[in-house]
Amino acid sequence: MADGPTGAVLALLGVLSVYAASGSGPVVERETGGETEWAEPWDGAVFRPPSALGAVGMTRSPRTPQPGREEAGDLPVLLWWSPGLFPHFSGDSERIECARGACVASRNRRVLRDSRTRALLFYGTDFRASDAPLPRLAHQSWALLHEESPLNNFLLSHGPGIRLFNLTSTFSRHSDYPLSLQWLPGTAYLRRPVPPLQERAEWRRRGYAPLLYLQSHCDVPADRDRYVRELMRHIPVDSYGKCLQNRELPAARLQDTATATTEDPELLAFLSRYKFHLALENAICNDYMTEKLWRPMHLGAVPVYRGSPSVRDWMPNNHSIILIDDFESPQKLAEFIDFLDKNDEEYMKYLAYKQPGGITNQFLLDSLKHREWGLNDPLLPNYLNGFECFVCDHELARLDAEKAHAASPSDSPSPETHIAQPSHMDCPMPTPGFGNVEEIPENDSSLVQVRDHCICLRFLWPCSEKGRTHSYAVVP
């Protein structure tokens, strides 16, 4: 048995599993003369998650709601159990209009036991088993919003964790309300002009490397620093973050995240001088793609990428990124980057998507066109409001199905319970960034972090006695 706080969390998680089985100024795209323009942000507004982590306002559906539930007292209530994410300006409750009708969104936990409270909305990073509202009421759905990777809450990447929820909104295309393109504002963002190659050649002559690494979150489950460290033995890499740092950013203001964001125009101008950017996610999950991938493409650099195994499905064409896992070793990758660095014609093939008609991936185009939310787009709801309406519509449909069943059980079956699946946090078992587990020293900081997760989850996934054989089973 697990001891102390860990044991308590695991015990409560088991109880929960039983119950489960039962902004700143807007950044917009605008049409001018048939071409879509991109309004460049100045303060990181593109990559600022909404609500508690950025400014958000109310958004009402432009569609006409169905009649029949006009009085607020008759409307289903959606309770945000993570109150810091409540996507409305003020107050504890707000009527929202959605496709099927209206609901009341609230962050007032006093309505938990109210019969009208039909759904609880949780933010995955904040979710703790010890804070879960028990006993769980049979008439309530649990809905999870978790756009982050397992690094933020690894419990949700295990079957017993994700199956606590009925509805999900995650980075995975298999979730109920997918957020796979949460870091891509639109196609215009990808079509930003490429800096002249002459400028980049001059940058190289001044002693800068062809390859940039900017990362300050070290020792993550993806173990990216181990790979980069080995790659540095074969090709120059300028590393500006806290991880493997060997250079300083050109201004003190840019070095301080309190005074400059990753979308600061001065920082973007500096980063755009590099032809290649190392883009390694903090965890390896299907469809988990962040600004580490999209920002280099915006700047006209070629991402050297390790992250989502399904990343090819989302690329603007079939020749726009370099995948680390396509190469048998860091040395072979370094040789290929060096070849492209010395051959402009071959290098520019990776930027063909920036030309008219260069975005040929219809799946990407359709996904952007049909998603119901936007990124800091005043004409579309943000994904918090969109998720809220998705849950509202689900509960209205469930209420109608329950009433139909009550009126005529033989003609209308009772609505089936929808349970989230592990594919909604689609994360294959990670492997070391370079080499294998047996070769990693016992005192290695990244191994210690992963081993701790493994020990915490030993009843959910087997670990060896030392916590090494399955130490990368953080996200099976």
Which residues have CB under 8 Å from 91's CB, separation 6+? Answer: none
* Nearest CA among 17, 9, 13, 15 for reference residue 419: 17
Quickly count: other Cβ atoms within 10 Å of residue 54's Cβ: 15
Q: Where are the alpha helices (DSSP H) in 288-354?
A: 291-299, 330-341, 344-348
- The CA R_g of the chain, rounded to the nearest whole Å, is 24
* Nearest CA among 192, 201, 191, 204 for reference residue 344: 201
Q: Digits of tens for pLDDT over the chain (476 positions)?
A: 344 433 333 344 444 444 444 433 333 444 333 345 545 443 444 444 443 333 333 334 444 444 444 555 789 999 999 888 899 988 899 999 999 999 999 999 999 999 999 999 999 999 988 889 999 999 999 999 999 998 888 889 888 999 999 999 999 999 999 999 999 999 999 999 999 999 999 999 999 999 999 998 888 888 899 999 999 999 999 999 889 999 998 888 887 765 656 778 899 999 999 999 999 999 999 999 999 999 999 999 999 999 999 999 999 999 999 999 999 999 999 999 999 999 999 999 999 999 999 999 999 999 999 998 988 778 888 999 999 999 999 999 999 999 999 999 999 999 999 999 999 998 877 677 776 765 666 656 555 444 444 433 333 333 333 333 333 333 32
User: Residue 330 has which token pair?
Assistant: 């860091």
* Nearest CA among 118, 114, 178 for reference residue 145: 178
The CATH number fitting domain 187-368, selected from 3.40.50.300, 3.40.1110.10, 3.40.50.11660, 3.40.50.2300 = 3.40.50.11660
pTM: 0.80
User: Residue 416 has which token pair?
Assistant: 């089936």
Rounded CA-CA distance 440/219 in Å is 13
CA 55 vs CA 37, 51, 404: distances in Å: 24, 5, 41
User: Residue 273 has which token pair?
Assistant: 């001088």
Q: What single-letter DSSP state applies at residue 378?
A: T
Beta-ladder partners of 278: 304
Rounded CA-CA distance 112/159 in Å is 26
Domains of the chain, by residue range, sit at 77-179+378-407+415-424, 187-368
Give per-residue burial for 343-365: e unless 16+ CB within 10 Å, then b.
Answer: eeeebeebbebbeeebbebeebe
Quickly count: other Cβ atoms within 10 Å of residue 92's Cβ: 15
